[in-house]
Every structure is written in structure tokens, then in C-alpha cells.
């Protein structure tokens, strides 16, 4: 929220006879006077939660990138193993055929 938004909210919540400041410092003092010291605790908790969830979002994006790379590698590995299996089957057939011919 910007200072203008907070100031407008404070203006609507406060009687006309009370001056509502426009600076962050003044709005902080107004909030403590209006809502008590609990507002400071609420603001600190809100700030801390925002940091935690921002960090969580960053970690989630990193994890998704890792999982995408892992899926790509697993897919390539599956194709490679399938080709290897086909090559081994061909070699087995060729060896069996050569063994029958040599008798």
C-alpha cells in the first residue's frame, strides 16, 4: 500500500477534527494512537510473513526448474534405454543366427 492509500483510509476512519498526517512516520504514529501498540506487532508479523512467503515462492520456482530438468533427463534416459534394449535384442538374434549357421 502506498502512503496515499493509507492516508485515505485513515482519513475515512478518523473524525474530521483530527489531522491525519501524510508521511510514513506520521501515519505510523497515527496508527499506534488509533489502534494501540498491537498495530506495531501486526505490522512486524505481516512483514515477516511476506518475507517467508516470498522466500517460499522463490524456492518453489527453483524446485520446479529442477523437476523440469529431471523430467527431461528421465525422458531422454528412457529413450536411450529403449534403444539399448533394441540393440541388445538385435545382437542376441544375430548371435543366435550365426550360431545356427556355424553348425
Burial track 71-96 (b if 16+ CB lie within 10 A, e otherwise)? eeeeeeeeeeeeeeeeeeeeeeeeee
Question: In this model, does residue 34 exceed pLDDT 80?
Answer: yes
Question: In this model, does residue 103 exceed pLDDT 90?
Answer: no
Q: Say how many C-beta atoms besides its own lie within 10 A of residue 29's C-beta.
A: 12
State pLDDT tens for residues 47-100. Answer: 999 999 999 999 999 999 999 999 999 999 999 999 999 999 999 999 988 888
- 27 or 66, greater pLDDT: 66
Domain count within the chain = 1
Domain that holds residue 98: 57-103
Domain-embedded: residue 91: yes
Q: What is the pTM of this model?
A: 0.51
Domain-embedded: residue 100: yes
Domain-embedded: residue 61: yes
**Percent helix / strand / coil, the chain, rounded to 5:** 85, 0, 15
Domain-embedded: residue 3: no
Amino acid at each position: 500500500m502506498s502512503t496515499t492509500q493509507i492516508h485515505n483510509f485513515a482519513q475515512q476512519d478518523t473524525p474530521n477534527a483530527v489531522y491525519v498526517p501524510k508521511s510514513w512516520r506520521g501515519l505510523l504514529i497515527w496508527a499506534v494512537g488509533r489502534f494501540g501498540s498491537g498495530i506495531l506487532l501486526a505490522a512486524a508479523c505481516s512483514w515477516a510473513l511476506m518475507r517467508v512467503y516470498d522466500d517460499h515462492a522463490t524456492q518453489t520456482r527453483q524446485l520446479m526448474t529442477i523437476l523440469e530438468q529431471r523430467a527431461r533427463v528421465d525422458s531422454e534416459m528412457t529413450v536411450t534405454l529403449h534403444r539399448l534394449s533394441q540393440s541388445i535384442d538385435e545382437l542376441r538374434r544375430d548371435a543366435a543366427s550365426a550360431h545356427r549357421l556355424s553348425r
